[in-house]
Structure 1
């Protein structure tokens, strides 16, 4: 993939965390819609709403945005012959469709699971990967299943399917705005366990070998990109990109690069990916 350029707009709170990312709290420019009918927020730029860090999908390393969805965003920008620009947004503003409805970005790529509620607010792309939920804890915690948790404090990310799942199970939860904060709290012993998508659990295990995957849950979670309700030419191009990648084998290579040993479980076959 080619290198990502630094954004030109900034919002100080987020820019302090991710200097390379463009972060905007306002709508699009007067150039919207001038790119051959694509209707972009800014002419010549693919503006992507994302939430970092959420490895292996999107994170910052050595001043550069990286991850599976970052690679897809770059491939889409190349396809459209524009430059990508990333807005690091709170996940709530993305999953509620506020960021899309206010014209902050052309497409959201934020490790977002497709749910019925979200489908009522935005239009999703074809599925990118499966990413079911799992329970993680320190190895010495002594848990063998979710039934062992009792009144233990379980970390979840706010406004995600992990939060909904934990509530349905009657668990004592601690809500975090970002997955990185959940990880830090688990490692610091501030919570006893965490429920998150397997991709995040694997990332935590790679960073801290004292953390283990206790149990996974078949929650049939499809992750996808999203645009405003009604669709857009950008979404059509993204779906076409995914279809071509599945056909030429580059989709398999991409998932294997970022999911490693969990790649087979993460891949969505072409016949199960379509949302049309």
Structure 2
């Protein structure tokens, strides 16, 4: 899963950020990471997390409003109160958990992967693209490869196609449809790399009551099989399920 490397701006926790006494919850997402979340032809948030989030709010008896926010500022804007949750393909990490809170995961731990134009690419010593402020970018920086960062996931793949990078390193499930639809242009390189602890909803640390409501809803979806149904619907039969 995509995982954000926290900047200093995210550490500026504001006082008194407890959830307002309202049943309307603002769901913050990126809207640029299909099939997790994307903007459809009607200009609306769509994807796995839109369908999941709406169902979670229904089970928790909450009303959802969806808010789009760029990835690199998604945690600071949660902390400052611009929305109440992050539901944006965000992996649970120890570093992030020091600043915000998480529900249990609603997507099991998975792998990140390298994709290139050829399997002969040296992903440990070449130039590798990754989305900025992600744990994938951090992994590349520590691997010995030359890291080039881009603001959006689309730009990382474009960098491989136009020769700016030898490979892209990103979430495996994001890359699968791109490889399948490339007609053989793109290919996976090497083995997958396990990163993160699964995807969960991010919340302010002061919003424990809201976290508990969403945890209860996630548990109910795991128990009745509906979460697995959504995973298969959006990611295919090969997806890891609960």
* 1:151 Cα deviation from its structure 2 partner: 4.5
1:234 aligns with one of 201, 205, 210: 210
* 1:79 Cα deviation from its structure 2 partner: 2.8
Task: Tell me the secondary structure at the aligned position of residue 33 of structure 2.
Answer: coil
Q: Aligned residue for 1:212?
A: 187
* Structure 1 residue 193 corresponds to structure 2 residue 171: no
Would the alpha carbon gap of residues 102 and 259 (structure 1) be closer, same or farther in structure 2, given more than 3 Å must change? same
* Structure 1 residue 154 corresponds to structure 2 residue 128: yes
1:75 aligns with one of 55, 58, 74: 55
* 1:170 Cα deviation from its structure 2 partner: 1.4
Task: Tell me the secondary structure at the aligned position of residue 69 of structure 1.
Answer: helix
1:50 aligns with one of 29, 51, 73: 29
Which runs of no fewer than 5 residues in structure 1 stay unpaired? 1-26, 36-43, 270-276
Task: Tell me the secondary structure at the aligned position of residue 229 of structure 1.
Answer: coil
Once the two structures are superposed, the pairs formed by residues 1-20 of structure 1 within 5 Å of their partners are none
* 1:245 Cα deviation from its structure 2 partner: 0.7
Q: Is 2:28–2:85's contact at 8 Å kept on the other side of the alignment? A: yes
* Structure 1 residue 257 corresponds to structure 2 residue 225: no
* 1:88 Cα deviation from its structure 2 partner: 1.7
* Structure 1 residue 245 corresponds to structure 2 residue 225: no
1:34 aligns with one of 21, 30, 51: 21
Q: Aligned residue for 1:18?
A: none
Would the alpha carbon gap of residues 252 and 80 (structure 1) be closer, same or farther in structure 2, given more than 3 Å must change? closer
Q: Is 1:131–1:223's contact at 8 Å kept on the other side of the alignment? A: no
What is the TM-score of this pair, normalised by structure 2?
Answer: 0.83
Moved more, 156-165 or 199-208: 199-208
Q: In structure 2, how many angstroms separate the alpha carbons of the residues matched to 1:110 and 1:164?
A: 19
Q: Is 2:124–2:144's contact at 8 Å kept on the other side of the alignment? A: no
Q: Aligned residue for 2:120?
A: 143
Task: Tell me the secondary structure at the aligned position of residue 219 of structure 2.
Answer: helix
Q: In structure 1, how many angstroms separate the alpha carbons of the residues matched to 2:106 and 2:223?
A: 14
1:108 aligns with one of 77, 80, 86: 86
Which runs of no fewer than 5 residues in structure 2 stay unpaired? 1-13
Q: Which has the higher contact order (CA 8 A, sep 6+)?
A: 2
User: RMSD over aligned Cα, in angstroms?
Assistant: 2.1
* Structure 1 residue 84 corresponds to structure 2 residue 64: yes
Q: Aligned residue for 2:140?
A: 166
* 1:137 Cα deviation from its structure 2 partner: 0.9
Would the alpha carbon gap of residues 53 and 142 (structure 1) be closer, same or farther in structure 2, given more than 3 Å must change? same
Q: Is 1:107–1:235's contact at 8 Å kept on the other side of the alignment? A: no
Q: Is 1:100–1:107's contact at 8 Å kept on the other side of the alignment? A: yes
Q: How many pairs are equivalent?
A: 221
Q: In structure 2, how many angstroms separate the alpha carbons of the residues matched to 1:80 and 1:150?
A: 46
After superposition, give the CA deviation of every residue in 1:121-151 in whole Å (9 maximum; x if it has no partner): 000110122232111112xx2427xxx2364
